[in-house]
């Protein structure tokens, strides 16, 4: 994996052109090499920082050029089926100069143009300058593992793997996007295509862009449909699932550098490690992070999984948090990011990077087969809700508002039972933040800047599409999580945490062919008898004891409450009481939340942490303009 950036000017770029500062801002993503390219007419400049994984020689240097066409590419990611694609291109007469997957994309584009995307199996973000067409073609992988941000201005077009360097570029409009701030206060992340800056946008997953004299065009090239189903017996489904997941693991173990795994001790990462151990001639290197507080510590399960699989395991304990990492953390994310598990993610990636360059992880299992508690619907609810939807689709509504508590008991209780079990059992992804970051709180924090229709319209749009591409509540939630929470929060968290220390993280459970297979499975293989991730857990039973597999789900969290009251306390108070850090949020509302937390009248930690991260970003991130 690497860092990519570029500038396409409306006029030829003056020397020295301002690309080097963008490259400097992403050097941590690729510490092994860097390169720059300027097109013959001076309009396009591309920059790259390289983390060498495949073809460690100088032949893998980027930007990489097709000497026949003059097309030039900068690429971040891995194409896991590049060996098979290379053979097909060689059969068509393409003569390769390297052994890298980057050159395979150039070869495919020479023959197929934009349609080359359908051949790629992997995680990627790339930009390709078509010299003959004088056109920039850029794209992002189907699930959104690799990021790509861009900015349009009167001077031209710029793009970058990370937000912070782009926000510091002279051409970028750095005014605060209040719509994005509204999203953050509810979701704890900012969904694509928005960013915290008005002038910066995120290319959504499974989309590509074309920029030429006619302007900028963005289009989707892949989508997932949960309506078409294949019929399997239990044994057939389990065997087919194991075969496809094992293949996804095998493809991700290919590298010219050592490969290991992040082993949390949860079912997802434990299954990945078991399949790695089965296919590896040598013991797999595994890494985990634990906590001194037992309620947040899964390290014992990680050790158990490591012993069963015979791995070389390196546990690390995260005790008192490192305050010095916080300024770097907020700069790396480039905008407010409120998922507190970013801290242990940084820690485990840093531990793994001391010995490895590539790790596999268990990201995506919950979104593949329904692992969150909200998926644990009774079988009768799933069947009845499916039957109702087939006969009378719901009107387009805002689920979060419809699920609000209204009216006295018993009408409130009866109404909620009807909604949860008959009409809106698939609204969980919308209501997961409702208690701590509800509409009323956001409106109080934003004051006159509140946007009443922003989130309702966003939720209704996604809900409409989820219902369009699914026939039951389980698949609706899977569709929603794969388009919102997974790419907006989880994959951003891991990309930044891993690339901060030059580590490549690969996710077999996010293989798009595996996702397509699971989408075609009936819901009983995902949730059965209120057990989520049913098929993945049955596979885990082939490698681990049942009590290991079926224990209570813990998640990857931190002792947030005690940390905010202890080691973070002084910094928390300093940031939250600094009007310059917290503007344009209402200071009185912030003070009330902080006082309630410190007086222990209620647990306000989940509200305070995103506000804390917002204030730290204002203090240490790129300057933002608050005025219109």
* Residues that are catalytic: 2
Beta bridge partner(s), residue 65 = 72
Beta bridge partner(s), residue 505 = 359
- Cα 211 to Cα 356: distance, rounded to the nearest angstrom: 38
Extract the tokens encoding 39: 């097109």
Q: What backbone torsions phi and psi does residue 56 show, to the nearest 5 degrees?
A: -75, -5
Dihedral Cα 102, 103, 104, 107, nearest 10 deg: 140
DSSP summary character for residue 122 = E
Query: Strand locations in 442-564, DSSP E?
Result: 504-506
- Cα 623 to Cα 581: distance, rounded to the nearest angstrom: 11
Whose CA is closest to 492, among 169, 147, 249?
Answer: 147
Buried b (16+ CB within 10 A) or exposed e, 392-423: eeeeebbbbbbbbeeeeeeeeeebbeebbbeb
- Cα 396 to Cα 458: distance, rounded to the nearest angstrom: 12
CA of 551: how far to CAs of 302, 453, 532, in Å? 13, 41, 12
Decide: 83 and 69 in contact? Cβ < 8 Å.
Answer: no
Extract the tokens encoding 29: 């993503």
- Cα 57 to Cα 47: distance, rounded to the nearest angstrom: 19
Beta bridge partner(s), residue 210 = 137, 217
Decide: 389 and 383 in contact? Cβ < 8 Å.
Answer: no
CA of 600: how far to CAs of 9, 488, 574, in Å? 55, 32, 19
Whose CA is closest to 153, among 220, 198, 186?
Answer: 198
Can you tell me whether residue 284 is helix, strand or coil?
Answer: coil
Pairing of strands 285-291, 207-212: unpaired
Pairing of strands 215-220, 207-212: antiparallel
- Edge-first strand listing for the sheet containing 200-202: 33-38, 44-50, 2-9, 156-160, 149-152, 200-202
Extract the tokens encoding 371: 């692992």
Q: Which H helix or E strand runs over 3?
A: strand 2-9
Decide: 224 and 161 in contact? Cβ < 8 Å.
Answer: no
Whose CA is closest to 77, among 113, 110, 117?
Answer: 117
Contacts 24+ apart (CB under 8 A), 144-147: 144/192, 144/204, 144/205, 144/206, 144/486, 144/487, 144/491, 145/77, 145/491, 145/495, 145/507, 145/510, 146/1, 146/76, 146/77, 146/495, 147/202, 147/492, 147/495
- Cα 541 to Cα 549: distance, rounded to the nearest angstrom: 7
- Cα 50 to Cα 269: distance, rounded to the nearest angstrom: 27
């Amino acid at each position: 994996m690497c860092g990519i950036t570029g500038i396409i000017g409306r006029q030829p770029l003056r020397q020295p052109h301002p690309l080097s500062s963008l490259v400097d801002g992403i050097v941590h993503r690729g510490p092994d090499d860097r390169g720059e390219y300027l097109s013959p007419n001076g309009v396009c400049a591309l920059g790259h920082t390289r983390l060498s994984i495949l073809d460690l020689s100088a032949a893998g240097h980027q930007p990489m050029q097709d000497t026949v066409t003059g097309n030039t590419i900068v690429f971040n990611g891995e194409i896991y089926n590049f060996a098979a694609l290379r053979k097909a291109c060689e059969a068509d007469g393409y003569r390769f100069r390297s052994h890298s997957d980057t050159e395979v994309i150039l070869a495919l584009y020479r023959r197929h143009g934009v349609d080359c995307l359908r051949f790629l199996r992997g995680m990627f973000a790339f930009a390709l300058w078509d010299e003959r067409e004088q056109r920039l073609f850029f794209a992002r992988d189907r699930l959104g593992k690799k990021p790509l941000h861009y900015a349009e201005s009167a001077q031209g077009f710029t793009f970058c793997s990370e937000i912070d360097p782009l926000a510091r570029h002279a051409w970028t409009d750095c005014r605060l996007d209040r719509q994005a701030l509204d999203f953050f206060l509810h979701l704890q992340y900012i969904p694509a295509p928005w960013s915290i800056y008005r002038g910066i946008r995120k290319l959504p997953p499974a989309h590509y862009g074309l920029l030429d004299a006619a302007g900028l065009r963005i289009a989707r090239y892949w989508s997932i449909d949960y309506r078409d189903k294949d019929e399997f017996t239990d044994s057939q489904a389990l065997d087919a699932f194991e075969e496809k997941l094992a293949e996804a693991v095998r493809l991700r173990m290919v590298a010219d550098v050592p490969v290991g795994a992040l082993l949390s001790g949860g079912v997802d990462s434990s299954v990945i490690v078991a399949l790695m151990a089965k296919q590896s001639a040598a013991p797999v290197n595994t890494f985990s992070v634990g906590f001194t507080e037992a309620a947040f510590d899964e390290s014992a399960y990680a050790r158990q999984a490591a012993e069963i699989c015979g791995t070389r395991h390196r546990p690390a304990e995260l005790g008192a948090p490192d305050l010095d990492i916080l300024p770097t953390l907020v700069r790396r994310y480039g905008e407010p990011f409120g998922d507190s598990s970013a801290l242990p993610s940084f820690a485990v990636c840093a531990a793994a990077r001391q010995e490895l360059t590539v790790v596999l992880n268990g990201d995506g299992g919950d979104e593949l087969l329904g692992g969150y508690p909200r998926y644990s619907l009774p079988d009768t609810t799933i069947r009845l809700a499916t039957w109702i939807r087939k006969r009378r689709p719901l009107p387009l509504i805002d689920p979060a508002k419809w699920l609000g508590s209204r009216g006295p008991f018993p009408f409130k209780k009866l109404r909620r039972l009807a909604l949860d079990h008959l009409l809106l059992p698939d609204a969980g992804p919308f209501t997961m933040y409702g208690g701590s970051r509800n509409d009323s709180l956001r409106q109080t924090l934003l004051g006159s800047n509140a946007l009443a229709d922003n989130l309702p319209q966003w939720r209704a749009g996604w809900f409409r599409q989820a219902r369009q591409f699914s026939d039951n509540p389980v698949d609706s939630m899977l569709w929603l999580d794969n388009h919102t929470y997974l790419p907006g929060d989880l994959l951003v968290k891991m990309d930044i945490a891993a690339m901060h220390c030059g580590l490549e993280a690969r996710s077999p459970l996010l293989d798009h062919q595996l996702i397509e297979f699971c989408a075609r499975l009936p819901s009983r293989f995902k949730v059965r008898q209120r057990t989520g991730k049913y098929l993945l857990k049955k596979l885990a039973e082939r490698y681990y004891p049942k009590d290991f597999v079926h224990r209570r789900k813990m998640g990857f969290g931190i002792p947030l409450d005690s940390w905010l009251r202890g080691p973070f306390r002084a910094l928390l108070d300093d940031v939250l009481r600094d009007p310059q850090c917290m503007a344009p949020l209402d200071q009185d509302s912030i003070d009330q939340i902080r006082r309630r937390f410190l007086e222990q009248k209620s647990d306000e930690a989940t509200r305070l942490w995103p506000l804390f991260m917002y204030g730290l970003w204002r203090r240490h991130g790129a300057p933002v303009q608050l005025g219109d």
